[in-house]
Amino acid sequence: MKTRTIAEPYKIKMVESLKTTTREQRLAAIKEAGYNTFLLKSDDVYIDLLTDSGTTAMSDVQWSKMMIGDESYAGARSFYTLEAAMHEIYGFKHLIPTHQGRAAEHLTSLIRIQPGQYVPMNMYFTTTRAHVERVGGIFFDCIIDEAKDTKVIHPFKGNVDMAKLQKLVDEVGPEQIAYLNIAPCVNMAGGQPVSMANMREVRAFADKYGIAVIYDATRAVENAYFIQQREAGYQDKTIKEIFRELMSLADGCTVSSKKDNLVNIGGFLATNDDGFARRAKELVVVFEGMPTYGGLAGRDLEALAQGMREMVEDAYIASRVRQVEYLGQKLIDAGVPIMLPIGGHAVFLDATNFLPHIPQDNFPAQTLAAALYVDSGVRAMERGMVSAGRDPKTGENNRPKLELVRLTIPRRVYTNLHMDVVAESCIELYENRHKIKGLTMTYEPDSLRFFQARFEELEPAMA
Ligand code: F0G
Other CB atoms within 10 Å distance of the CB of residue 20: 8
Question: CB–CB of 407/336 below 8 Å?
Answer: no
What sections of 13-152 are H helices per DSSP? Answer: 23-32, 60-66, 77-89, 101-112, 126-134
Rg (Cα) of the chain, in Å, rounded?
22
- The pTM of the whole model exceeds 0.85: yes
The amino acid at 62: Q
Indicate which residue's Cα is closest to atom 18 of ligand 1: 53
The amino acid at 156: F
pLDDT band at 392 (very low <50, low <70, confident <90, very high): confident
- Separation between Cα atoms, residue 248 and residue 251, nearest integer Å: 8
Q: What is the dihedral of CA 174, 176, 182, 188, to 10 degrees?
A: -140
Q: Ligand 1, residue 256: give the atom nearest the CA.
A: 13
Question: CB–CB of 263/303 below 8 Å?
Answer: yes
What's CA 414's distance to the chain center, in Å? 18
Question: CB–CB of 227/156 below 8 Å?
Answer: no
What sections of 145-217 are H helices per DSSP? Answer: 162-172, 196-209
Other CB atoms within 10 Å distance of the CB of residue 44: 18
State the distance from the centre of ligand 1 to the C-alpha of 101, rounded, in angstroms.
Answer: 6
pLDDT band at 142 (very low <50, low <70, confident <90, very high): very high
pLDDT band at 327 (very low <50, low <70, confident <90, very high): very high
pLDDT for 215 beyond 90 = yes
Residue 444 phi, psi (nearest 5)? -130, 110
- Could you state, in order of their start, the residue ranges of all structural domains in the chain? 23-52+314-457, 60-311
Region 185-198: mean pLDDT is 96
Share of the chain above pLDDT 90, in %: 95
Long-range contacts of 108-111 (CB under 8 A, 24+ apart): 108/214, 108/254, 108/269, 108/280, 109/134, 109/135, 109/137, 110/135, 110/283, 111/276, 111/279, 111/280, 111/283
Question: CB–CB of 269/96 below 8 Å?
Answer: yes
Task: Please write the tens of the pLDDT for every residue from 256-298.
Answer: 999 999 999 999 999 999 999 999 999 999 999 999 999 999 9
What pLDDT sits at residue 303? 98
What pLDDT sits at residue 115? 98
Region 406-417: mean pLDDT is 98
Active site residues: 73, 125-126, 216, 259, 383, 450
Question: CB–CB of 101/329 below 8 Å?
Answer: no
Task: Please write the tens of the pLDDT for every residue from 228-243.
Answer: 999 999 999 999 999 9
- Separation between Cα atoms, residue 160 and residue 317, nearest integer Å: 24
pLDDT band at 175 (very low <50, low <70, confident <90, very high): very high
Fold assignment, 23-52+314-457: Aspartate Aminotransferase, domain 1 (3.90.1150)
H helix or E strand, kind and range, residue 277: helix 274-287
User: 121, 256, 409: which to mutate for ligand 1, most atoms within 8 A of CB?
Assistant: 256
H helix or E strand, kind and range, residue 348: strand 346-350
pLDDT for 38 beyond 90 = yes
CA atoms within 13 A on the CB side of 89: 26
What pLDDT sits at residue 463? 78
State the distance from the centre of ligand 1 to the C-alpha of 129, rounded, in angstroms.
Answer: 11
Other CB atoms within 10 Å distance of the CB of residue 175: 12
CATH assignment of 60-311, among 3.40.50.1220, 3.10.180.10, 3.40.640.10, 1.10.3720.10: 3.40.640.10
The amino acid at 463: A
- Separation between Cα atoms, residue 181 and residue 120, nearest integer Å: 6
Task: Please write the tens of the pLDDT for every residue from 307-325.
Answer: 999 999 999 999 999 999 9
pLDDT for 200 beyond 80 = yes
pLDDT for 69 beyond 90 = yes
H helix or E strand, kind and range, residue 270: strand 267-271
Calculate the average pLDDT of the chain. Answer: 97
Indicate which residue's Cα is closest to atom 19 of ligand 1: 51
Please list, residue by residue across 403-426, b when 16 or more beta carbons sit within 10 angstroms of its beta carbon and e when fewer do.
Answer: bbbbbbbbbbbbeeebbebbbebb
User: 259, 261, 451: which to mutate for ligand 1, most atoms within 8 A of CB?
Assistant: 259
Question: CB–CB of 97/104 below 8 Å?
Answer: no
pLDDT for 197 beyond 90 = yes
pLDDT band at 368 (very low <50, low <70, confident <90, very high): very high
